[in-house]
Amino acid sequence: MINAGRFFLRFAFLIFALQPAAAQIWQPDRGDGTYQNPVIWADYSDPDLIRVGQDFYMTASSFNAVPALPILHSTDLVNWEIINHAVERFPDSYFDIPQHGKGVWAPSLRYHDGWFYIYWGDPDRGIFRVRTRDPRGEWSAPVLVKKAFGNIDPCPLWDEDGKVYLVHAFANSRAGVSHVLQLQELTPDGASVTANRNIIISGLPENPTLEGPKFYKRDGWYYIFAPAGGVATGWQMVYRSRNIWGPYQERRVLEQGKTGINGPHQGGWVTLENGEDWFVHFQEKQPFGRIVHLQPMRWVDGWPVMGLDEDGDGTGEPVARFRKPSVSAIPPAKTPPGRDEFDASRFNPAWQWQANFYPHWYSMTDNPGYLRLNAVYHPSRASLWMVPNILAQKIPGPQFTATVKLDGANLKAAESAGLVMLGLDYAALALTSSEEGYRLNLIVCENADQGFSGQSTGGVLLTSGLVYLRAVFSEDAKCRFSFSVDGSNFIKIGEPFSVREGRWIGAKIGLFALSAQETGMKGFADVDWFRLE
């Protein structure tokens, strides 16, 4: 995938698009001209979006997952599909092991002079940028715009006079401060910083933990949209000034109010061709992660009002259901896909590794129509938390069933492959080859992030390496595992598992193949398909 992946990218997406559509797990489009929130019930944290013609594009935080920076597309702001990633693989060895909670934080997506730009902050290394002419194609290699520690959530603005600016926040865990926003001037190409910078906004005392700023200009006013108050319980602030360096006026424009939508904040504003305004933001809903909502937006006296403002005080509350945006393009109902028949030249773009990937981990060509997962040795194999070669994807809805058809007949002794629900706690259904035959074990690990290893809570001996593994996720965030040898009759194994989120992300469901031996002949497992219902 490193060398040939881009060559086959468009072909692979075409093949996937032609596959029969499965029933949607969560459908935001009501089919009657209205939609229900969330528009994406999946962990697309810190979303930002733009409109280019009739197309909308979105990106989101990806933290330690690779490929990084997902690119999503829509023509109506309700039905979204994932089409690409902006960073195929990180160019250095820093991400060769899982860097949980680190990496790509709160990106900003912008379109300027024919270029698509994404800026993001890595809290430990600085502010980076990538760009492309085609969001479905290849993006440039990451450029370090500013080497810094604790600089996060950057957003650029190209002004009419040709100057380029960047506003960003600070991570309290690194910088010791989290309530101020800094304005930084960039060089004309937007690729590096100048010495011209200043703190322009402080959130204290009413708006602590000020972060995730998005920079806009409208009718001669500079606007900074920035969430405050923390991820789970915060609100959305907007700041405005006639002078880019301030002083800035402020207003709270969106809060939970009487609704059940906690922390409605951090996202992006977009204007339709007909002048309608909309705001996309996230809601933290663990263990699902940060799911994406769409709010109507309007301007009153030079201030945005988001959601419904029944009191008329300028502070809106999020909607649960609303009419769809008025767009000319009427798309088929779509949600970010997760199923995969592994019939294309690369796997579904919903999949991501836990760290930088390597070609010897897998193959899409050794056995066409199958994903071959080679049994890879890793010193941390006793705990899947630090294993890099886990291929995982986001929880796709409030309840679902994931089933995988796996052939482990070519696993060697002490090698295993299986299905995992991964988070701070995890549970894995692992098929292991042994002298007795094939043993299927349910392995559960609590507090995996603290270095604890998984323990087997039940197992069964099988005569064949061909097995169907299933995880049933219920609305109460419980996961029940089962297996089948014929694909029809499933047998429960172990007790229901209470799913937990990961570090700054929702739980993920994934596939793995591991070896206990560092050297010698290695086996593999072939995955025929992975299906979500």
Strands 455-462 and 391-394: unpaired
CB-count burial class (<10 Å; 0-12, 13-18, 19+) for 101 = middle
DSSP 8-state code for residue 175: H
Cα separation, 491 vs 6, whole angstroms: 41
Report which secondary-structure segment, H or E, holds 7: helix 5-17
Query: Using an 8 Å Cβ cutoff, are 200 and 248 in contact?
Result: yes
Cα separation, 332 vs 393, whole angstroms: 23
Q: Is 46 an active-site residue? A: yes
CA trace torsion 350, 353, 354, 359 (10° rounding) = -170
Query: Using an 8 Å Cβ cutoff, are 168 and 121 in contact?
Result: yes
Active-site residue among 43, 46, 284, 501? 46
Residue from 17, 4, 7 nearest 348 by CA: 17
Cα separation, 427 vs 391, whole angstroms: 15
Q: Which two tokens stand for residue 418?
A: 């299986």
Residue from 262, 297, 291 nearest 276 by CA: 297
Q: How long a stretch of residues is the chain?
A: 533
Give Cβ neighbours of residue 431 (< 8 Å, ≥ 6 apart): 406, 408, 411, 416, 417, 418, 438, 439, 440, 462, 465, 467, 469, 525
> Can you name the residues that pair with 524 across neighbouring β-strands?
374
Cα separation, 176 vs 252, whole angstroms: 25
- What is the per-residue burial (b if ≥16 Cβ within 10 Å, else e) of 53-67? eeebbbbbbbbbbbb
Tracing tokens 């881009």 back to the chain, one arrives at: 6
Cα separation, 338 vs 69, whole angstroms: 17
Q: Is 449 an active-site residue? A: no
Active-site residue among 211, 341, 425, 501? 211
Cα separation, 223 vs 271, whole angstroms: 15
Give Cβ neighbours of residue 100 (< 8 Å, ≥ 6 apart): 63, 64, 385, 449, 502, 503
Cα separation, 420 vs 340, whole angstroms: 16
Report which secondary-structure segment, H or E, holds 427: strand 426-434
Strands 34-36 and 321-323: antiparallel
Query: Using an 8 Å Cβ cutoff, are 416 and 456 in contact?
Result: no
Q: Which amino acids are annotated catalytic?
A: 46, 211
